[in-house]
Chains A and B, each alone.
Chain A
Amino acid sequence: MNLILIAVISLGVIGLISAVILFVASKKFAVYEDPRIAQVAEVLPQANCGGCGYPGCSGFADACVKAGSLEGKLCPVGGQPVMAKVAAILGLEAGTAEPMVAVVRCNGSCEHRPHITKYDGAVSCAVAHATYGGETGCSYGCLGCGDCARACLFDAIHMNPETGLPEVDEEKCTACGACKKACPRNIIEIRPKGKNNRRMYVSCVNKDKGVIARKACEVSCIGCGKCVKVCPFEAITLENNLAYIDPAKCKSCRKCEPECPQGAIVAKNFPLRKPKVEAADPKSENSKAETSKTEVLSNAVPKIDLSKGTPKVEA
């Protein structure tokens, strides 16, 4: 009995002393933190992807609270709804930001781009890029080692083993930009999703002269400038033998698409061109072929089984 009593008393006293120490410490060493930071962090998705440009979600929450304005701040993962919640907590106007998506600007699949050498180094685009121009004649295009797929935190980009190119799952993509950062060749661009998810872009980043680019890849931009001439909105610029469609100016009129002799301009998620449109368009048979090619492309994406697209990550 005595023993139990001693044990209970001594343990109780230890507990009491510890409680007092803890209480004093928590009061004395307390660090004041704006409670709104925790509130904002609460509504953020906690993906800690860094897509907002701040170190993780708490960093972003801290920045939002301290900034006094939400202009230019966007959580790419949560998008507008989350920013609206953040704005409500802070009593601020939510900044306007267009939804974005990652776009792979290379269409040089195994079929389009003949392989002339065999890469045998570490499975990493960064290493391959430092080694040489790549397995094909194009020293600007996708290397196919899957650094982007490995960088993605949302399982939204996968390597397609058949084409050897990455494919973006637009449903899952949050436009955080991790893949863009991981790509040593700056092939991936974060572009506005566009109205109804429809957008036009040049699916090539090759800056070689036309002859070399054409020899290396069937669907390369050869810098001919036809698209620049046809664009009614001056949205296309040609620099270093490479055309670029400015998403801010592009009105998705699709005039440039049939114009491209290489089929390098991609119209994503547009409906099939109806014969009516075709009739209105004074283009010849030639453009039909191009159009159907694009259709195949834009329709191919959802069909691919994404589960088997992941390349083996080296241990």
Chain B
Amino acid sequence: MKTFRIGGVHPSENKLSAGEAIETLALPKQAVFPLSQHIGAPATAIVKKGDVVKVGTKIAEAGGFVSAPIFSSVSGKVNKIDTVIDASGYRKPAIFIDVDGDEWEETIDRSTELVKDCSYTPEEIVAKIKDAGVVGMGGACFPTHVKLCPPPGCKAECVIINAVECEPYLTADHRLMLEKPEQILVGVSLLMKAAKVTKGYIGIENNKPDAISLMQEKAIAYPDIEIVPLKVKYPQGGEKQLIDAVIGRQVPAPPAIPISVGAVVQNVGTAYAVYEAVQKNKPLFERIVTVTGKSVKKPSNFLTRMGTPMSQLIEAAGGMPEDTGKVIGGGPMMGKALANTEVPICKGSSGVLLMNDKEASRVEAQPCIRCAKCVGACPMGLEPFLLATLSSLKEWEKVEKEYIMSCIECGSCQFTCPSHRPMLDYIRLGKGTVGGIIRARNAKK
């Protein structure tokens, strides 16, 4: 069975909510839409206080090419445009909408009927995706239309769908595949058409045998789409690792991007969002969110409107356990710890994970014993211990030469470190600083 070639770790899977069917969550009382929900320029608000909006009304326009518009997920009145603490832990501008009823825009096709045929040209599909505000649903939130427009000199050869869900605990993609397989396959063929390629792969880790067999069965009708079962190993869901695992090509060090080796990687949730955007005219305003944790009473998968506060999801999953020590937006390997539970669900929120105090606290760091376990675990073939030390010493030039920009921040190094060293904290710091230095250098040129 295929997998990526360098490094990797095996965190315990803890897919507690894998057997829970997707439930639709009740509407929130107030929905909050941060203007910066994606990588790139923040969106600009086009509504003002007192405006009445419907479900699917555009409330913020894309702020540039690498950006995406934002749509209201509720109907009601704009309460204010203010700041809210989002997943980054800082106050960011956001639109607050008071919910009143559930009135949808007429253009949205609300029937559940599967629409297979598509008469749009590739350019029209890309335009529809762009106008629906679709971004990568795996967590990075990179605007999808940008990935479908290869830079000059690059040519896409295949579309790879990331249905790996290698993060422990999360099951949103797994449930989506079990419940909407046909829609996903149509979405994939739309993506293939948009990228002008004839080959599509869907990579699924073999800890989801039910999803693999179901998708394989449905994919018989789509001869261009191949389901690729993959050996379980973290971080297989990393874009570069997935390309390596599925088609055996390795993306060179930055500034090379996946398209440099001819691959367009999209998340399975994105494929579904593309289907809805193109075939149903439905912009991206809801997504599936896993609420899970060892102490959570009822781990669940919710179909949630964006802007819903996380506290409402936690409530619906049986309430906040007494011993909660950490609330994480996303999975345990790459998710962000949240400072409060009022953080709204955004386009990239794949899960809410509640950890108890015991799991949540870090163990005190000990000196590095140079056991090289981090070197063995790094899926990018880097030397994390060295990057961390150089970053903590602020040796930015040296750390750049050690390929710090190749780091994908998967956390395998810190996960495996017997000395419990906070390596990735420092590597992120170094990566951020070196990234700034490189941008400044390029700007000078």
From residue 196 to 231 of chain A, which have CB atoms closer than 8 A to chain B? 208, 212
| A139 contact set on B, CB distance < 8 A | 89-91
Stretch of B118-126, B292-300, B376-384, B425-433 lying at the A interface: B425-433
Partner of A124, one of B85, B340, B425: B425
Contacts A124-B425, A130-B429 given; indicate if A315 touches B367 (C-beta within 8 A): yes
Q: Does A117 contact B (CB under 8 A)?
A: yes
Partner of A132, one of B90, B362, B365, B425: B90
Asked if B91 and A133 sit within 8 Å, CB to CB, the answer is yes
Asked if B392 and A120 sit within 8 Å, CB to CB, the answer is no
Q: Bin chain A's interface residue count.
A: 10 to 19
CA distance A120 to B340 in the complex (A): 15
Q: Does A272 contact B (CB under 8 A)?
A: no
Q: Does B283 contact A (CB under 8 A)?
A: no
Asked if B339 and A117 sit within 8 Å, CB to CB, the answer is yes
Chain B 406-429, CB within 8 Å of chain A: the 1/0 string?
000000000000000010011011
Q: Does A131 contact B (CB under 8 A)?
A: yes
Asked if B425 and A127 sit within 8 Å, CB to CB, the answer is yes
CA distance A98 to B141 in the complex (A): 51
| A14 contact set on B, CB distance < 8 A | none
Question: In whole Å, how far is A99's beta carbon from the nearest beta carbon of chain B?
Answer: 28
Contacts A116-B339, A117-B339, A120-B362 given; indicate if A132 touches B89 (C-beta within 8 A): yes
| B85 contact set on A, CB distance < 8 A | 133
From residue 324 to 359 of chain B, which have CB atoms closer than 8 A to chain A? 337, 339-340
Asked if B91 and A132 sit within 8 Å, CB to CB, the answer is no
From residue 285 to 340 of chain B, which have CB atoms closer than 8 A to chain A? 337, 339-340
From residue 107 to 148 of chain A, which have CB atoms closer than 8 A to chain B? 116-117, 120-122, 124, 126-127, 130-133, 139
Q: Does A314 contact B (CB under 8 A)?
A: yes
Q: Bin chain B's interface residue count.
A: 20 to 34
Which single residue of chain A is at the shortest CB-CB distance from B423? Answer: A122
| B91 contact set on A, CB distance < 8 A | 133, 139, 208, 212
| A130 contact set on B, CB distance < 8 A | 428-429, 432
Which single residue of chain B is at the shortest CB-CB distance from A127? Answer: B425
Q: Does B361 contact A (CB under 8 A)?
A: yes
Question: In whole Å, how far is B348's beta carbon from the nearest beta carbon of chain A?
Answer: 17
From residue 269 to 315 of chain A, which have CB atoms closer than 8 A to chain B? 314-315
Asked if B361 and A124 sit within 8 Å, CB to CB, the answer is no
Partner of A121, one of B83, B339, B360, B422: B422
CA distance A93 to B367 in the complex (A): 52
| A131 contact set on B, CB distance < 8 A | 89, 337, 425
CA distance A117 to B360 in the complex (A): 13
CA distance A139 to B92 in the complex (A): 11
Chain B 384-421, CB within 8 Å of chain A: the 1/0 string?
00000000100000000000000000000000000000
Chain B 87-100, CB within 8 Å of chain A: the 1/0 string?
01111000000000
CA distance A260 to B337 in the complex (A): 36
Number of A-B contacts (CB under 8 A): 50
| A127 contact set on B, CB distance < 8 A | 422, 425-426, 428-429
Interface-centre pick from B340, B361, B429, B432 (highest chain A CB count, 10 A): B429
Asked if A124 and B367 sit within 8 Å, CB to CB, the answer is no
| A121 contact set on B, CB distance < 8 A | 362, 422, 425
Asked if A314 and B365 sit within 8 Å, CB to CB, the answer is yes
Interface-centre pick from A117, A122, A133 (highest chain B CB count, 10 A): A122
Asked if B429 and A133 sit within 8 Å, CB to CB, the answer is no
CA distance A148 to B367 in the complex (A): 23
Which single residue of chain A is at the shortest CB-CB distance from B89? Answer: A132
Contacts A130-B429, A133-B339, A315-B367 given; indicate if A124 touches B392 (C-beta within 8 A): yes
Question: In whole Å, how far is B434's beta carbon from the nearest beta carbon of chain A?
Answer: 13
Which single residue of chain B is at the shortest CB-CB distance from A314? Answer: B365
Which single residue of chain B is at the shortest CB-CB distance from A120? Answer: B362
| A133 contact set on B, CB distance < 8 A | 85, 89-91, 339
Question: In whole Å, how far is B332's beta carbon from the nearest beta carbon of chain A?
Answer: 14
CA distance A314 to B420 in the complex (A): 13
| A315 contact set on B, CB distance < 8 A | 367
Asked if A122 and B425 sit within 8 Å, CB to CB, the answer is yes
| B337 contact set on A, CB distance < 8 A | 131-132
Which single residue of chain A is at the shortest CB-CB distance from B360? Answer: A120
Which single residue of chain A is at the shortest CB-CB distance from B428? Answer: A130
CA distance A117 to B91 in the complex (A): 16
Which single residue of chain A is at the shortest CB-CB distance from B392? Answer: A124
CA distance A116 to B428 in the complex (A): 24
Asked if B339 and A126 sit within 8 Å, CB to CB, the answer is no
| A116 contact set on B, CB distance < 8 A | 339-340
Partner of B429, one of A117, A120, A126: A126
Question: In whole Å, how far is B120's beta carbon from the nearest beta carbon of chain A?
Answer: 42
Interface-centre pick from A124, A127, A212, A315 (highest chain B CB count, 10 A): A127
| B339 contact set on A, CB distance < 8 A | 116-117, 132-133
Which single residue of chain A is at the shortest CB-CB distance from B364? Answer: A314
Which single residue of chain B is at the shortest CB-CB distance from A132? Answer: B89
Asked if A120 and B361 sit within 8 Å, CB to CB, the answer is yes
| B362 contact set on A, CB distance < 8 A | 120-121
CA distance A126 to B422 in the complex (A): 13
Which single residue of chain B is at the shortest CB-CB distance from A208? Answer: B91
From residue 240 to 272 of chain B, which have CB atoms closer than 8 A to chain A? none
CA distance A120 to B420 in the complex (A): 12
CA distance A121 to B427 in the complex (A): 13
Which single residue of chain B is at the shortest CB-CB distance from A131? Answer: B89
Question: In whole Å, how far is A252's beta carbon from the nearest beta carbon of chain B?
Answer: 34
CA distance A120 to B422 in the complex (A): 10
Question: In whole Å, how far is A50's beta carbon from the nearest beta carbon of chain B?
Answer: 13
Q: List 30 A-B contacts (CB under 8 A).
A: A116-B340, A117-B340, A120-B360, A120-B361, A121-B422, A122-B392, A122-B422, A122-B426, A124-B392, A124-B429, A126-B429, A127-B425, A127-B426, A127-B428, A127-B429, A130-B428, A131-B89, A131-B337, A131-B425, A132-B88, A132-B90, A132-B339, A133-B90, A133-B339, A139-B89, A139-B90, A208-B83, A212-B83, A212-B91, A314-B365
In the A-B complex, the 4 residue pairs with the smallest Cβ-Cβ separation, listed nearest first, are A132-B89, A122-B422, A122-B425, A127-B425
Q: Hey, which bits of chain B sit against chain A, CB under 8 A?
A: 83, 85, 88-91, 337, 339-340, 360-362, 365, 367, 392, 422, 425-426, 428-429, 432
Task: Contacts A120-B362, A133-B89, A315-B367 known; list 7 others, CB within 8 Å.
Answer: A120-B360, A121-B425, A122-B422, A126-B429, A131-B89, A132-B339, A133-B91
